[in-house]
A and B are shown apart, each in its own frame.
Chain A
Amino acid sequence: MVNVQKTVKDYIAGKVVVHALRGVDLTINGGEFMSIAGPSGSGKTTLLNLIGCLDIPTSGEIFIDNEPISNKSKTARALLRRKKIGFVFQSFNLIPVLTAFENVAFSLSLLSLPQKEIYDRTMNILDEVGLGGLEKRFPKEMSGGQQQRVAIARALVKQPALILADEPTANLDSNTGKEILKLMEKLNKSHKSTFVFSTHDAMVMDFAHRLVMLHDGRIVNGKKSS
């Protein structure tokens, strides 16, 4: 469902050109639960941002459901993200003035669904991520793990084909991190959404069904574990 072809991404920082990705080829299939791993600065965030249509490659092409993204307008990419892609961030990025319920419903409200459907789907997904009864809590009234569950619910509630999570456990202690990964794994099975998460933590990599190692902007090995 995602096809990354010969993708290069350069950043220009002042007078220096930073080669963040130096030609990446990668195919991600529907329903996968995979991790992009590598040391800091290896290009994980850059790659996820490109797959997430938040940015476009310097050269090469990325196809989402066989559609190239680099010639799409800003608005078209926003629309594609709204419909097909869910994001989970390292620092949760919840809206502090909204409750757990409202944060999740926010992502559905962008799809202009009927109120009733928004309510039902939001309550269901909150149950599913283990936050039943906490829907009225504000982010600051929840633990890091709970906040990340809200973020996962927010990403998943619109039933996107692809969920991208950039270091989703980096701000959590290892036990909470494990629980989040287990939750993602469970949801990957039940919802059949594709999960791609990045990490530099060996424990986290172990959870992935498939591991892609990045080093200095290149894929150094692609290994599949079971």
Chain B
Amino acid sequence: MGFILSLSIKNLMRYKRRTFITAIAIAVGIGAFIFMDGMLLGIELESERNLVKFETGSARIMNKTYWDDHDYLIPKYNIPDRNTVMKAVTEAGIPATPRITVWGKVRKLIPTNYEESNDYYPATVTGIDQKTEGDVFLLNESVIINSKTEKENGRYFNAVEEVSLTGSVALVGKDLAKNLKVSVGDEIQVLETKTADGQNTTLNATIVGLLNTPDPIINKQMVFLPLAYIEQALLMKGAATDIVLLYPEYTDINDQVAKTKNAIAGVPGSEKLVTKSFLDIASTYLSISRGKRGGSAFLLIVVFLIAVIGVSNTMLIAVFERRREIAMMRALGMREGSILVSFILEASGIGFIGGIGGLIIGILGNLYMVNIGMDFREMMDEMGDIGYRSLGIFKSAWNFQTMITAFICGLIFTGIMALLPAIMALRKDITKNLNPK
């Protein structure tokens, strides 16, 4: 075996240029694969972080029926006594904030002529509790405060906002604001919002800030109001539709959910509550975004296979050129299996060199992309929503598992590529190739 290995290495070095060129093709294939996968993983992780930090939180406690019908956001199915639930989870050490989330149709309100503005946009209208909101979400960091284009600088909600029957204040996603042609200081109206007892009601608010978050969904379809206003307007005093929780990073989400369930088990009416992690809440989105990585990975495997076919070609030439040598070794009584192994090792050797090169290319590329990244914001703006919770400053993540997999696959695939030509050579009669004619 040692002999076969050393023979294979020597044969590999015999055609330095050919080996080198083939290895480069593999290196580029593997390198591109690692690079792309690192980038997609980076976007995926960033998206998930943004999803949690701006949209879903780590988990939510909800009324079971509200969750079952969560496409409709029906305020009737709420958590009537939010404070007991809040108390239970915060005592268990889990940061939490209550929210009321409902559907509505938003339009710009022009007080002098109501009829003029018929541009409605569907929106998710969310009441947030200024006191605890920051424990879970990062909205307060996302208000555009120094804009040259806005009439006035925006601000986040104050600890206490004035609430009257005629309205309150609002934070609006910047893209929604653009569609509505509104800005800080303008008034908006939310129509067709349901109250807890199922009646339609109208909400009014003055915009105090526009939100520019890394989550396009927030920017495009969210209106935030003070919880104190929305609970009054929707006849939900003391209630919430969600208690949103934040779990520490890098902990097992199922453990945390179990811990939460434990914490609220003693709360009256807890049998009507469910705790759902963001994996459940955003399951459709997540399966699509993870599927994207899988889909792109598949495409890249095709690229990689093309490189491997290069090896197959190289081995075909190698076997053809050495057919006399193969015949001689067989004449001397070398086992056919050993000859096969020697060619497999030789091809894998190309895969090994290419794999090392690919790792270097991939790691260098990742190094740049992890630390510096690329700005695709303009492109993303033009393409619209491509289903990532990212504004388009893409940074890669380290994907060591992919690196190892790509390297090993390189070895295996290239090794296999030697099989066919070698088997073909071994099926020829020894006598045919022994003497050149």
A-side interface residues toward B, CB under 8 Å? Answer: 45, 49, 52, 54-55, 75, 78-83, 87, 89-91, 93, 95-98, 106-107, 109-110, 154, 166
Closest CB in chain B relative to A78 CB, distance in Å: 5
Residues of the A chain whose Cβ atoms lie less than 8 Å from the Cβ of B69: none
Closest CB in chain A relative to B12 CB, distance in Å: 9
A87 touches B332 (CB 8 A): yes
B331 touches A81 (CB 8 A): yes
Q: A49-B431, A93-B434, A110-B332 are in contact. List 17 more A-B contacts (CB 8 A).
A: A52-B331, A55-B429, A55-B430, A78-B330, A78-B334, A78-B335, A81-B332, A87-B328, A89-B435, A90-B435, A93-B324, A95-B325, A95-B328, A97-B13, A106-B329, A107-B332, A110-B334
B333 touches A91 (CB 8 A): no
Interfacial residues of chain B within 378-437, with CB under 8 A of chain A in the complex: 429-431, 434-436
Residues of the B chain whose Cβ atoms lie less than 8 Å from the Cβ of A80: 333
A55 touches B431 (CB 8 A): yes
A83 touches B333 (CB 8 A): yes
Pick from B10, B325, B333 the residue with the most CB of A within 10 Å. B333
A97 CA / B434 CA spacing, docked (Å): 18
Closest CB in chain A relative to B330 CB, distance in Å: 7
B14 touches A96 (CB 8 A): yes
Decide yes or no: A81 and B14 within 8 Å by CB, A89-B328, A93-B324, A93-B434 being known contacts.
no
Decide yes or no: A166 and B331 within 8 Å by CB, A54-B430, A93-B325, A95-B325 being known contacts.
no
Contact of A166 among B334, B435, B436 (CB under 8 A): B435
A87 CA / B435 CA spacing, docked (Å): 12
Closest CB in chain A relative to B425 CB, distance in Å: 15
Residues of the A chain whose Cβ atoms lie less than 8 Å from the Cβ of B330: 78
A82 touches B324 (CB 8 A): no
B-side interface residues toward A, CB under 8 Å? Answer: 3, 7, 10-11, 13-14, 324-325, 328-336, 429-431, 434-436
Decide yes or no: A87 and B7 within 8 Å by CB, A54-B430, A93-B324, A95-B325 being known contacts.
no
Decide yes or no: A91 and B435 within 8 Å by CB, A98-B7, A98-B10 being known contacts.
yes
B431 touches A82 (CB 8 A): no
A83 CA / B431 CA spacing, docked (Å): 19
Contact of B435 among A45, A79, A110 (CB under 8 A): A45
Residues of the B chain whose Cβ atoms lie less than 8 Å from the Cβ of A91: 324, 435-436
Residues of the A chain whose Cβ atoms lie less than 8 Å from the Cβ of B324: 91, 93
Closest CB in chain B relative to A197 CB, distance in Å: 14
Residues of the B chain whose Cβ atoms lie less than 8 Å from the Cβ of A54: 331, 430-431, 434
Contact of A79 among B10, B333, B336, B434 (CB under 8 A): B333
Closest CB in chain B relative to A96 CB, distance in Å: 7
A88 CA / B243 CA spacing, docked (Å): 88
A75 CA / B330 CA spacing, docked (Å): 10
Q: Which 3 A-B pairs have the closest CB atoms?
A: A82-B333, A97-B10, A93-B328
Closest CB in chain B relative to A138 CB, distance in Å: 10
A45 CA / B10 CA spacing, docked (Å): 32
A106 touches B434 (CB 8 A): no
A52 CA / B331 CA spacing, docked (Å): 8
Residues of the A chain whose Cβ atoms lie less than 8 Å from the Cβ of B431: 45, 49, 54-55
Closest A residue by C-beta to B334:
A110
A151 CA / B431 CA spacing, docked (Å): 18
A97 touches B7 (CB 8 A): yes
Residues of the B chain whose Cβ atoms lie less than 8 Å from the Cβ of A75: 335
Residues of the B chain whose Cβ atoms lie less than 8 Å from the Cβ of A95: 7, 325, 328-329
16 A-B pairs with C-beta separation under 8 A: A54-B430, A55-B430, A78-B335, A81-B331, A82-B334, A89-B435, A90-B435, A91-B324, A95-B328, A96-B14, A96-B325, A97-B10, A97-B13, A109-B3, A110-B334, A154-B332
Closest CB in chain A relative to B289 CB, distance in Å: 51
A8 CA / B329 CA spacing, docked (Å): 27
Closest A residue by C-beta to B435:
A90
Closest CB in chain B relative to A173 CB, distance in Å: 19
A41 CA / B336 CA spacing, docked (Å): 30
A147 CA / B328 CA spacing, docked (Å): 15
Closest B residue by C-beta to A91:
B436
A45 CA / B435 CA spacing, docked (Å): 9
A81 CA / B333 CA spacing, docked (Å): 6
Closest B residue by C-beta to A50:
B431
Closest B residue by C-beta to A86:
B332
Closest CB in chain B relative to A122 CB, distance in Å: 13
A150 CA / B328 CA spacing, docked (Å): 14
A154 CA / B329 CA spacing, docked (Å): 12
Residues of the A chain whose Cβ atoms lie less than 8 Å from the Cβ of B325: 93, 95-96
A95 CA / B328 CA spacing, docked (Å): 9
A80 CA / B324 CA spacing, docked (Å): 21
Closest B residue by C-beta to A164:
B331
